[in-house]
A = this chain, B = another copy of it.
Amino acid sequence: MAFNLPKEVTLIEVGPRDGFQFEKKIIPTELKVEIISRLVDAGLKHIQVASFVNPARLPQMADAEDVVGRLPESPGGIFSGLALNTKGVLRAHRAGLKHLEISISASDTHSRKNAGLSFDQAVIQMKEMIRLAREKSMGVRAGIQCAFGCVYEGAVSRERILQLVCYYSSKGVDAIALSDTTGMANPLSVKQMLQTLIPECRGIPVVLHLHDTRGLGLANVMAALECGVTQFDTAMAGMGGCPFVRGAAGNIATEDTVNLMNLLGIITGIDIVGVSKCSERLEKFLANKFPGKMHRLVLQEDLRL
């Protein structure tokens, strides 16, 4: 009945992409770069720094090139950007990024709302994006949105997800990301899905991208750890959501996940106080209280226990 846990995990900070894009108030490029620098200092080795999408639809990401142009040094670290179409891939490449995240929704309805494409159209485009990224010698992390269900459609086809995973692994992508875009996963579905999919990944690491919509984020992390997953997307303070899905909630919080790993004796290399200070800075600037729990606790000396 004991847990079977890994010794070390990698947390991929998606706050500057998935977190920032959800905010209406434009965050100045300078503050974005400052936050990214602080995250690097706090030990985050992999940070998603921007999304190369239509600035008319997502004005918060209009400065993606500027952000990438002003990134700090991060020896041995990875900065990545998200693209939803080939134009985005080319923009990310021209901006100088070496790591790309591409993603496709397993739900037709979500795909139409998020990317303006049916699933079949999105598949054609995804293949083109992988080809193009490879041509440009970019590393590719390939994702599946709504992998654990869709708030519009309910259950999504397990077959469809399996086919996507098989396609990704046949292309030898760097990592395969399963996104619980609208927080519908539960510990049971996480285990069932991972037990089916991991053998098809042929050794390519699986990343879990979880949202805490129903309060199950860290319970799902536990289930995934037991299945051997060692990479998780997290966002400082639990920022984030999906701008085109009603009722979407934030990513699992970086600090809360670091705290869990610390308690489990799993190494992350991340300084929870350093991340919490980024969260505090953003809460002040955005005059918002984010759903993460630990950043407020760790910044009060007497509650740090």
Residues of A whose CB lies within 8 Å of any CB of B are 1-4, 149-152, 154, 184, 186-189, 191, 195, 212-219, 221-223, 226-227, 246-247, 249, 253, 256, 259-260, 263-265, 292-294, 297, 300, 302-303, 305
Contacts and interface: CB of A to CB of B under 8 A. Distances in A.
Contact of A154 (B188, B259, B305): B305
Nearest to A292: B215
A227 to B, nearest CB: 7
Nearest to A249: B293
A216 B4 CA distance: 18
A216 B216 CA distance: 9
Contacts of A213: 293, 297
A29 to B, nearest CB: 31
Of the listed residues A188, A249, A292, the one surrounded by the most CB atoms of chain B closer than 10 A to its CB is A188
Contacts of A4: 1
A256 B219 contact: no
B187 A1 contact: no
A155 to B, nearest CB: 9
A223 B226 CA distance: 12
Contact of A187 (B217, B222, B259): B222
